[in-house]
Structure 1
Amino acid sequence: MQKLTVSELAKLYGYSRQAIYAHINKGNLSKGSDGLIDFSEAIRVFGEPKGKSTDDKQSKSINSQDLTQVDLLKSQVNLLEKQLNQALLRENQSIEREVFYQEQIEAMQRLLEAPKANMTTFTDHKPSQDIATDPLPEQALKDDGLTTPEPKENLRIPVPDQTEPEPEKRGFWSRFFKPNG
């Protein structure tokens, strides 16, 4: 079969030499050990050579020159899409985290403010009836059987006024050697 140089093949098909080399570097087209390209190999890759019309020549040269650029741009677009998706995911996670922490801060602030406004001291606290949280009247709370009755009197244990003084405690040896008393 006929063998052609890169320049001859470029002229025959209307491609630039760089486009032919790009096909060789990609592995689409192979050169022989003598550096020439077999015509059957060129037909396999490029098809049958057509007439020398200017439209065909321009479209083929544009297609072959832009072939590597298009592939490069496609890979860059894919990479940028992946980076954008990752950035959006991180941003969404950051926003969710910020909302969560803001809710936690607000809840803590409500807890800190609530005791100051409602209670003077822990022992003097008398709950006020709040319809939203405690719709039962105060009488119903006392009669439900679950609460302890309030003490009516002071239930202290009476202490007698006079007490007998306790005898002096004696040591171990004094119990044996001293008489009672």
Structure 2
Amino acid sequence: MAKLSLSEVSKKFHMDRSTIYRAVRNGRLSRSSDGQFDLAEVIRCFGEPEKMPQKIESSKQEGNESTKKLIAHLENEVKKYQEREERLMHQIDRMQALIELKSVAPTTAVPQQDATACDIHMPQYDKTQQNNDNKKNNELNIAENVAVLQQETAAYHTQMLQHATLQNVVIPKHKKRSLFGRVLNAVFDNN
């Protein structure tokens, strides 16, 4: 006769240990002196053990493999998006450096005194007007670059959401932040 331990009975018959102890205490199941259970006695008490169909086990393995593939694919996508975000942050840093240089350059420039007596009759172009025009042009260029960056960021988020929708994955939406807010967030998150 086959003998089973308590843990083997619990696993094979999918019973909780407390249920087995209760059956022994009530006299429905007997235990030998060595603490083992007779297989025929356990079958008489609990019935035939439930067998897990092979289909369920194979589907679990297939599910695990597909899940692993999906996880690897999503990890690659996240890595690509992180690289793209890093490139965009470098562009933002570059633009801010340009803004700082443009704002510092006119104040440190030394005005030149080229006017000679012969230049009196020629109309002089107002240098402050020229500086203001340069500042406006620089500000327009910077504003255009920021707008392009914002469009690229919006396209990036749209692409990420479309990809996540295709994969049936929910990605939380982040609230819109200004350029300064994104830069501060990037600085403090990188530390």
Q: Could you state the TM-score of these two structures normalised by the residue count of structure 1?
A: 0.30
Q: Could you state the TM-score of these two structures normalised by the residue count of structure 2?
A: 0.29
Which structure has the greater CA radius of gyration?
1
More helix by share: 2
